[in-house]
Amino acid sequence: MNYAVNLSPEATPEQLTQLAEAAKALGAVPLSQYPALDAFFVQSAKATFAADLGSAAQAATIPVHSIGPTRFAQVSGDEVLVQATSAGNSAANGGGGNSQLDEFTPDPESNLAWGLSAIGALDAQKVDVPRAKVTVAILDTGVDGTQVDLDDQIDVENSVGCHVNGIPNNAREAWQDDHHHGTHVAGTVAAEHNGLGVDGVAPTARIMAVKTSNAGGFFYPEYVTCGLMWALDKGADVTNNSYYVDPWAFWIPTEPSQAAGYEVVRRAFTYTEDQGLLHIAAAGNDEYDLDNPTTDSDSPNDVDGAAILNRDVTAGVDIPAMLDSVVTVSSVQRPRRNADPTKFTRSRFSNYGAKHIEIAAPGSVIRSTLPASKGGGWGYLSGTSMASPHVAGVAALLKSIHPTATPAQLRELLYKQAGDKLDVLTDDPAKAYRGRGMVNALDAVLKDQPKPVVGALEYSIDGNTWQPLGAEYNVNVAPKARLRVTVTGPATAASLQVFDFPAVTATSENPFGEDLTLTTEELPLADTLLSYDGEFLSLPVTINAEGRNKDPRADDDVVAESKLALVKAEVVPHPEDLSVAPSLTTPKQGQTMTFMAAGFAIGEKVTFTVHSDPVVVGTVPADNDGRASIEWTIPADFGKGEHTVKAVGESGREASQTFTVQAPSQPSTNPGTPSPGAPQPNTPGSTDSPKDQGAHKAQGAGTAKKSSSLASTGTQAGMLAALAALTTMAGVAGLIARKRS
């Protein structure tokens, strides 16, 4: 038998290795080990192996959750790695039993691939939106690598066979389909758009073939665990799981013969979802209420005649369908003849349950790809196995448009958008199958996409220094100015229109968009005001930002509209010349110093910036004497050497001064600087006396850059303060963001 061994979560990696060695000491052959799951698989011919290893663990005080077989049948064929030492289960036969796949037989041919149309997948292909690369792992019977509609879609390098003891085999022949189920499922997800056969729901997605069933059609825990961990390791984004884990239709977590197999698979699904894999799973085809399991007469299914009649499964779990870490999919069928053509109903075979079904999808009479062993080409199958890949395909579409989205975020998008098609499903309270609604491929490529963000409008008098622009601009500060705005996020094109001045536009070469900055030429704002009433003029400002999606139905474009008031108010110069000075000329890394500026307008906002990094220290208003000051603690890793502090007013006028940063261990070169630890009479770290602090313009080689701008009066200072209140063009100062529908 093959055994799953699950340590308790509190076990250490060393204890996992220790128990694996203990298993080998008992004659077991190691198969696969998964430290991330606190689990491993081994093969043993001893009927008492589980009990013996449990005793060894207890003796070594290794905490164990469960040890038990992964199947009912004995291992046979090329999976046998040890010689049997006892008769074991005389009925066991690796090729016997009734595979869960036997129920899937081709249906009468249909004229339409109706499932693609029902979920909007064909229309979704026509939507012009860039799509990132996405890979869907098909955990199934394998995929025929020669199928003409799939051969170019398969990630050959990362496909694998896990069906021999759960040990991955990357050889091409290891992942080929020995049934037909996996090839059919793969085609629904991502058959190529090539003018042949059918299209997949997501024809730009890649397929990772992950063979997780043996030639008998059984999906054992070691196979599935291997497939999930492989898919995660090789970078898959979504998995499709159109099977239940054999040999139990419902696993009883407290039953010793089933606990270990159940637990290791549960851990594998949970862990891989936490690490970024979104799992889609079929609900099953027994017309069974997953919310209220009662009895099962079909398990174990891997040995002829071994099934237990009316087995109590009230505490049972159909895995993976009933796991929290998967999106569970029911099947719907086309409207019957003479029925409402806009309404779909539950497929007669589909399992149901309000607590467990999350999404519905087409599953009856689905046309998709077939392997060469079944004649190649395309054929029709029915089952929740066919419904699940419709959802996996839509999940791939969502991931391609939201490449950084987590599984939880993708789930919410699936649910939200399926809700737009809830009303196409006929309600059946007795057999709840609708979940959140019908999976929606068209919404996936049109709705809920990232939008550009319009930033605050800024102005510059000299073209170099930029200040926030509020709702008003006083032309007496400067008669001409440039305006600019930056659109962040996935912007592919943007435009800025101010009044009747020439519009400014920008486009991105990146199909996924980027940040775009729009800057006007120098605008004659004073002349514009003068040409009207001369005192007040309200100018319309419109900013358009286009997102990634070029389809006019998409919801990812933004329009921000506002008004800019031109005003003319009296301003008077401040009598003191512009200057800025640091309180320390040779500060040390980690020390706190003060920057002090003078000569600005009363109330004018002054921004202090340290170059050469540069580092914005902060913005403060000038007081009634036209002075502004701010403290700054030099980062411990800030660059040593000469730096410049600049004080820039919102009028564009600026002053600068140099200072030198030293390491803490270096002695100060300033004779006026006290030794470390000496009392500091003024600002922390200051070496100036109160008298010195008032004589800033006498220090060093500072320069003052002046313009013809005049300092404002107290009244104008209030206006300038109001100008800075607008932090974005999308709301705070009366701007309106409008989405294009």
**pLDDT by residue (tens digit) across 7-29?**
999 999 999 999 999 999 999 99
Taking residues 540-555, what's their average pLDDT?
94
pLDDT digits (tens, 9 = 90+) for 139-193: 999 999 999 999 999 999 999 999 999 999 999 999 999 999 999 999 999 999 9
Residues in Cβ contact with 43 at an 8 Å cutoff, skipping those fewer than 6 apart: 1, 2, 3, 28, 29, 31, 75, 79, 81, 82, 165
- What pLDDT sits at residue 462? 84
- What pLDDT sits at residue 725? 34
- What pLDDT sits at residue 84? 52
pLDDT digits (tens, 9 = 90+) for 33-66: 999 999 999 999 999 999 999 999 999 999 999 9
**Greatest alpha-carbon span in the chain:** 106
**What is 230-249 written as a DSSP string?**
HHHHTT-SEEEE-S--TT-S
Residues in Cβ contact with 671 at an 8 Å cutoff, skipping those fewer than 6 apart: none
- What pLDDT sits at residue 102? 62
Taking residues 546-562, what's their average pLDDT?
94
pLDDT digits (tens, 9 = 90+) for 292-310: 999 999 999 999 999 999 9
- What pLDDT sits at residue 694? 32
* Pair of tokens at residue 420: 């737009």
* Pair of tokens at residue 515: 């940040």
Domains (range + CATH), the chain? 2-69 (3.30.70.100), 102-446 (3.40.50.200), 453-571+720-739 (2.60.40), 579-668+683-711 (2.60.40.1930)
CA 513 to each of CA 165, 450, 452, 455, 634: distance values in angstroms, whole numbers, following the listed order? 47, 10, 9, 16, 37
Backbone angles phi, psi at 500, to 5 degrees: -105, 20
**Which of the residue ranges 155-159, 185-189, 339-343, 653-657 would you say has the lowest mean pLDDT?**
339-343
Q: What is the DSSP letter of 712?
A: B
Rg, Å, the chain Cα set = 35
Does the pLDDT at position 669 exceed 50? no
pLDDT digits (tens, 9 = 90+) for 373-420: 999 999 999 999 999 999 999 999 999 999 999 999 999 999 999 999
Does the pLDDT at position 244 exceed 80? yes
Taking residues 540-565, what's their average pLDDT?
94
With pLDDT > 90 as the criterion, what percentage of the chain qualifies?
Answer: 73
In our burial notation (b when 16+ CB lie closer than 10 A, e otherwise), range 687-720 reads bbeeebbeebbebeebebeeeebbbbbeebbebb
* Pair of tokens at residue 41: 């698989």
Most confident by average pLDDT, 99-108, 217-226, 715-724: 217-226
Cis amide prior to 221 (ω within 30 degrees): no
Confidence of residue 494 (pLDDT cuts 50, 70, 90): very high
**Which of the residue ranges 174-183, 208-217, 691-700 would you say has the lowest mean pLDDT?**
691-700
**Which of the residue ranges 108-112, 136-140, 313-317, 390-394 would you say has the lowest mean pLDDT?**
108-112
- What pLDDT sits at residue 96? 66
Place of tokens 């229109």: 497
With pLDDT > 70 as the criterion, what percentage of the chain qualifies?
Answer: 85
Residues in Cβ contact with 23 at an 8 Å cutoff, skipping those fewer than 6 apart: 5, 30, 40, 42, 44, 49, 53
The answer to whether 191 touches 150, Cβ cutoff 8 Å, is yes
Gap between the Cα atoms of 703 and 707, Å rounded: 13
- What pLDDT sits at residue 604? 82
Taking residues 318-334, what's their average pLDDT?
97
Taking residues 94-105, what's their average pLDDT?
61
- What pLDDT sits at residue 435? 97
What does the H/E/C string look like for 635-684?
Answer: CCCCCCEEEEEEEEECCCCEEEEEEEEECCCCCCCCCCCCCCCCCCCCCC
Confidence of residue 576 (pLDDT cuts 50, 70, 90): low
* Pair of tokens at residue 81: 């790695």
Does the pLDDT at position 728 exceed 60? no
- What pLDDT sits at residue 710? 27
- What pLDDT sits at residue 571? 58
